[in-house]
Chains A and B, each alone.
Chain A
Amino acid sequence: MNSSTALSLATFIYGLATVFYIGHFAFKKNKLATAGFWVLVAAFVLNTAGIGLRWVESYQMGYGHAPFSNMYESLVFFSWTMALLYIFVEVKYKEQGFGVFVSPLIFLAIAYASFDPGISSKISPLIPALKSNWLIAHVITCFLGYAGFAVAFGFSLIYFVKPKQTAENTFLGRLPSWDVIDELTYQMVVFGFLFLTIGIITGAVWANSAWGKYWSWDPKETWSLITWFVYAIFMHLRLMRGWHGKNLALVSIVGFAAVLFTYFGVNFLLSGLHSYA
């Protein structure tokens, strides 16, 4: 098996997991959620294998670099981090009702990588600016941050689907309660915030060793800082102003919009130093 087969299979199986979770949401069968979980784990294993194989293949081709160097590789890794975080949350908090809101995001990222003709999946050599030990630390931390915010975004959506008071046995009653969503959204934002902070910092230290400036107000840097500001606002509103529920969920959604713009918008709409991913 080579990396592209593994990743195509992973895409397909993530899609299957999404179908199971949607089925659970629609038909209220717990077995479907359990099945969804195990299918998701299987896809995650393939995703991991795909990334690992791609790493090995790049060495075989003589380029030898971690698979974090372009849009395709970053999207595949983004799915991987989201899946990892989601699996952790489901195992730790034993809540299955979230799956329907998160699994589509995991599937969409990797599917976008595979199906958009504008995104090349070719393994290409590293340009000089990317040849640094900071590459791995920077990419991993940034994408763990993005994943935290993506999962928080999925959780925040529940507020707009489920009313605060719902009878236990109704269609929406099986979704987690507002208290649980509130707590978990916060946990995910906190996780994302810590890793985004480390991601920006590793990026700054790297920029200082590559270009001699730790901060140059490049669009990517600026947008990551804007994202950081939005989530800093989120924390202050929640911890110091007592915001909860829908209002706070809106801030989390705005924050995720900023994440998406930092990730995609900057590359497609603005120009700057950070043109690889």
Chain B
Amino acid sequence: MKNQDTIPRQIWEFFCSVKLTVYTLVLLAVTSIIGTVVLQNGTPQQYIDLYGKGGYNLIQVFSIDDMYHAWWFLFLLLLLCINIVVCSVERLSLVWKTIFPKQIRFNPDRFLRSKKKHTFFVDQAADAVTAACESWLSKQVGKVHKKNQENTWMVYAEKGRWTRIGVFVVHASVLLLLLGALIGAVFGFKANVRIDEGKQVGTVFAAKTRQPIQLDFLIRCNEFAVKFYDTGAPEEFRSNLTIIEDGQETLTTDIRVNHPLRYKGINIFQSSYGTTSAGAAVMAITDNISGQKITRTMQVGETITLPEETGSFQLQGFLPHFDFRGRNLGEAFFGKVTLKEKEAFQIGLPLQFPTFDKMRKGRFSFVVTDFEKKYYTGLQVTKDPGVWYVYAGFVLMILGCWVTFFMSHQSFLVAVAPSKDGGTIVHLAGRTNRSTQNLNLKLTGMATRLENQFKKGESI
């Protein structure tokens, strides 16, 4: 090419260099480490606590708080894509004729120069040996091509020429994956929602921005259930959901972890749960003067009279997180105690600490021994129209890698030359575009089989 120094040509050369590939991959590998060490998507306060004000400024400048979506990281990915496209176009234009030749040609000298060729002597006439070799090679490998060169018959066969396309498939699959990711990022969303048992929602909230997203249908949580093993480890989280579309219940189903619901392009996953409120509670009340103990089942809002007409107790409500002097004591009930001729006061009854109210040292102490839990289910709701491109990329990548690494273009040559004493000298050699070790092992096996065939005196 004459115009090698023109600027477009130089740019082209830059993008089709393998050096660029290696540097880009090194940069991707090294910078990816940052996001595994530095907290991602934290709050400004978290970063200031961890790295100080200066550190936080630096983090903001380079978007390290969300580095896998930072401009410079996306730029590296873009660079990789351009590199792949340019390299593939360049190389494909070079090897196209090799992959799809009009006519198969071969150069016997290239084979016969090999150090790993096998040579043996056959006590038969050259013509008969050539015919036998031709039929043997066509059975072993495939279609045979033959030519005579300096009184030697060159018998050639090859297989797996198409496998040279494998490497292009692998690179195309990377592009397809990234295209799928882009489609997902632009047209899809990831959101969360909490639904109390018995309630329904039609709006979910984007995971990052917390912006509301309106769905085309309502999701109702009929029931949430959690099962535990004897060891205390969770065994199963299950939500029973109903989809309501235009006022019609269209679907009712269970979802579990690993078993999501997919409905009209929207995916609904079980992701968390919690206690949102409580129904009836079993209340144990001890009179610390008489030692008398009574047990009552109470509804939230219900008021009971305390023993000996000393006052009353109202169960006011349930808190998922009871805050006591700045400490989170977990799930708790709270209620109002009104004793005769005294001012009413509120008490908290954390479920994890049954002796909590006793420490108040009042006339009565209250403990919740059991209660009816009302759960909320935490769902992840996503839409990703790019996922099928990504999956197609996955399939192509596996197939492409398999073809590229475990298959190869192999060609074999048997050279049959008459020797001076009326016998025949046979050479067997092979070439490949990949693993020569495997080819050499294969050649050794082939040579043994071919030689044995003549020793046995078989003619095919």
- Chain A interface residues (CB < 8 Å from chain B): 63, 92-93, 124-125, 127-129, 131-132, 180, 183-184, 186-187, 190-191, 193-194, 197-198, 201, 204-206, 208-215, 217, 219, 222-223, 225-226, 229-230, 232-233, 236-237, 240-241, 258, 266, 270
B21 close to chain A: CB less than 8 A: yes
Complex contact A132–B258 (CB within 8 A):
yes
In contact, B258 and A270 (Cβ under 8 angstroms): no
- Asked whether any CB of chain A lies closer than 8 Å to the CB of B18, the reply is yes
Complex contacts, A230 vs chain B, CB 8 Å: 29
A201 and B29 contacting across the interface, CB-CB below 8 Å? no
In the complex, which residues of chain B have a beta carbon less than 8 angstroms from the beta carbon of A236?
Answer: 18, 21-22, 25
For chain B, residues 243 to 276, give those with C-beta under 8 angstroms from any C-beta of chain A: 256-260, 267, 269, 271
Closest 6 A/B residue pairs (Cβ): A229-B29, A128-B257, A240-B18, A183-B437, A212-B269, A219-B36
Stretch touching chain A among B52-60, B127-135, B139-147, B234-242: B234-242
The answer to whether A187 touches B380, judged by C-beta atoms less than 8 angstroms apart, is no
Do A210 and B26 touch (CB < 8 A)?
no
**Contacts of B387 on A, CB cut-off 8 Å?**
208, 214
A-B contact pairs, 24 of them (CB 8 A): A63-B229, A92-B441, A125-B235, A127-B234, A128-B235, A128-B236, A180-B437, A183-B436, A191-B405, A194-B402, A194-B406, A201-B394, A201-B398, A205-B391, A208-B387, A209-B260, A210-B257, A211-B380, A213-B190, A213-B382, A219-B36, A225-B32, A229-B28, A236-B21
A58 to chain B, nearest CB (A): 13
Q: Return the chain A residue nearest B30 by Cβ.
A: A226
Contacts of B435 in A (CB 8 A): 183, 186-187
CB contacts under 8 Å to A, within B7-57, are 18-19, 21-22, 25-26, 28-29, 32-33, 35-37, 40
Closest to B180 in A: A214
Residue of A nearest to B256 (CB): A128
Give which listed residue, B229, B256, B380, contacts A125 with CB less than 8 A: B229
Tell me if B405 and A190 are in contact (CB < 8 A): yes
Q: Which residues of B contact A223 (CB under 8 A)?
A: 36
B313 interface residue (CB < 8 Å to A): no
Q: How far is the CA of A136 from the CA of B382 in the complex (A)?
A: 26
A270 touches B269 (CB 8 A): no
Q: Is the CB of B437 within 8 A of A93?
A: yes
List, in ascending order, chain B residues with CB within 8 A of A205's CB.
391, 394
B434 to chain A, nearest CB (A): 9
Indicate if the CB atoms of A212 and B260 lie closer than 8 Å: yes
Given A124-B231, A236-B25: A187 in contact with B437 (beta carbons within 8 A) = yes
Contact A233 B25 (CB under 8 A): yes
Chain B residues with CB under 8 Å of A190's CB are 405-406
Assess whether A131 is in contact with B29, with CB atoms less than 8 Å apart. Answer: no
B405 touches A212 (CB 8 A): no
Interface mask (B378-417 → A, CB under 8 Å = 1, otherwise 0): 0011100001001100100110011001100000000000
B1 within 8 Å of A by Cβ? no
A212 lies within 8 A of B32 (CB): no
B232 CB to nearest chain A CB (Å): 10
Question: Chain B contacts of A204 at CB under 8 A?
Answer: 390, 394
**CB proximity to A under 8 Å, residues B202-252:** 229, 231, 233-237
A193 touches B25 (CB 8 A): no
Scoring A212, A222, A223 by chain B CB atoms within 10 A of each residue's CB, the highest score goes to A212
Using Cβ atoms and an 8 Å threshold, which residues of chain B touch A63? 229
**B51 CB to nearest A CB, Å:** 17
B40 touches A197 (CB 8 A): no
> How far is it, in angstroms, between the C-alpha of A209 and the C-alpha of B257 when the chains are bound?
8
* Cα separation A223 to B34 with both chains bound (whole Å): 11
Contact across chains for A197 and B26 when beta carbons are under 8 A apart: no
Which listed residue, B18, B259, B437, touches A184 by the CB 8 Å rule? B437
Question: When the two chains form their complex, are residues B229 and A270 in contact, meaning their CB atoms are under 8 A apart?
Answer: no
In the bound assembly, the distance between CA atoms of A226 and B29 in angstroms comes to 5
- B22 is contacted by which of A132, A193, A233 (Cβ under 8 Å)? A233
CB-CB under 8 A from A232, the residues of chain B are 25
- A94's nearest neighbour on chain B, judged by CB, is B441
The answer to whether A209 and B258 have CB atoms under 8 Å apart is yes
Is B68 part of the contact surface with A, judged by Cβ < 8 Å? yes
Q: Are A129 and B36 in touch, CB under 8 angstroms? A: no
Known A128-B258, A198-B398, A201-B394; contact A210-B233, beta-carbon cutoff 8 A: no
Check B79 for interface membership: any CB of A closer than 8 A: no
Whether the Cβ atoms of B258 and A131 lie closer than 8 Å is: yes
Report whether A197 and B390 are in contact in the complex, using a CB–CB cutoff of 8 Å: no
Report chain B residues within 8 Å CB of A209: 258-260
Asked if B300 is at the interface of the complex by the 8 Å CB criterion, the answer is no
Check: B283 CB closer than 8 A to any chain A CB.
no
Give chain B interface residues in 401-459, CB to chain A under 8 Å.
401-402, 405-406, 435-437, 441
Q: Please, which residues of chain A bring their CB within 8 A of the CB of B19?
A: 241
Q: A128-B237, A205-B391 are in contact. List 19 more A-B contacts (CB 8 A).
A: A63-B229, A92-B441, A124-B231, A124-B233, A125-B231, A129-B257, A197-B401, A210-B269, A211-B269, A211-B271, A212-B267, A212-B380, A214-B390, A217-B35, A222-B32, A226-B29, A229-B25, A229-B32, A241-B18
